[in-house]
Amino acid sequence: MLLEAVQYAATHAVTPKAFRPFIRSSVSLWSRAGRCAKAWAPHEENCKAFIRETTDGMKQKRTAVVLGSGLLRDVPIKELSKQFDTIVLVDLVHLASVRMWLKAGRFRNARLISRDLSGFEDAVAGKPVEPLAFLRQVPYLDLVVSANILSQIGVGAKRRLEREKRPGKDEIVRALILAHLDGLTTLPCRTVLLTDTNYRVTDRKEIVREEADLLCGLPAPIAKRKWIWPVAPYGELSRDCQAIHEVIARSSS
């Protein structure tokens, strides 16, 4: 708890006011990642390997953007920093520990941007939802990675809609997910999509206690790779239950 408090305070000081409400969830994710490091390691390495595989065949490597950069555990930031002239890391919150790690590693070509990538405000206002339109303004853009953020856009929007008791919840959530996928598809550069598509909670007898479609009924994009991510291994949710997510990876040609 002490480390979490320090992380929160240090991050609060360097986070724009509009994004400070999201610090707590980022710190919680950081804490869980530490507890579940062993269980998450294969998933994180699969993500990194897929990104490396995608960038290996690229001729131009000027600017790379990582959407949902988070803790940088699932992104090969060292390799990207060496290969690309500029790395742009976009997320709601960049924890103080992540900032310190980047500084200590002398990743001088890394740029941090705090931004809401969901498009939620436009969706509820009935406006066109183009959360990735800002990428059109990024010069010399050669790579965009959507790093395990798509499902979180849907989950976050659903919780907020329920909390605010807004109508049309399912339609809005699907619109946000589609906007992200369409935004990636229309970019004139190489793209990588990493996302979990569904989850199930099982007990030690492999009986499914709970399950959900994280894409809210939308068909999952055709994957080049698939794997399982034990987001909450035994002991995290409870002694006798675990939460398993199915993850897909795809890249544009």
pLDDT in tens, 121-165: 999 988 999 999 999 999 999 999 999 999 999 999 999 998 888
What confidence tier does 233 reach under pLDDT thresholds 50, 70, 90? very high
pLDDT in tens, 38-72: 999 999 999 999 999 999 989 999 999 999 999 99
Burial of 93 from C-beta contacts in 10 A (0-12 / 13-18 / 19+): buried
In whole angstroms, how far apart are CA 224 and each of 4, 53, 58, 75, 247? 37, 11, 17, 18, 11
pLDDT at 29 over 90: yes
Q: Dihedral angle at the C-alpha atoms of 232, 233, 236, 242, nearest 10 degrees?
A: 80
What confidence tier does 1 reach under pLDDT thresholds 50, 70, 90? confident
Instruction: Give me the residue spans of the domains in the chain.
Output: 2-115+142-149+186-251
Contact 229, 196 (CB under 8 A): yes
pLDDT at 109 over 90: yes
The percentage of residues in the chain with a pLDDT greater than 90, rounded to a whole number, is 91
The residue that leads in pLDDT, 163 or 97, is 97
C-alpha to C-alpha distance for 229 and 199, rounded to whole angstroms: 9
Instruction: Give residue 14's pLDDT.
Output: 95
Instruction: Give residue 171's pLDDT.
Output: 92
C-alpha to C-alpha distance for 173 and 117, rounded to whole angstroms: 13
pLDDT in tens, 158-192: 999 988 888 778 899 999 999 999 999 999 999 99
pLDDT in tens, 200-221: 999 998 899 999 999 999 999 9
What confidence tier does 80 reach under pLDDT thresholds 50, 70, 90? very high
pLDDT at 119 over 90: yes
Q: Does domain 2-115+142-149+186-251 have CATH number 3.40.50?
A: yes
Helix axes 23-35, 2-14, angle to 10 degrees: 140
Neighbour count for residue 144 (Cβ, 10 Å) = 24
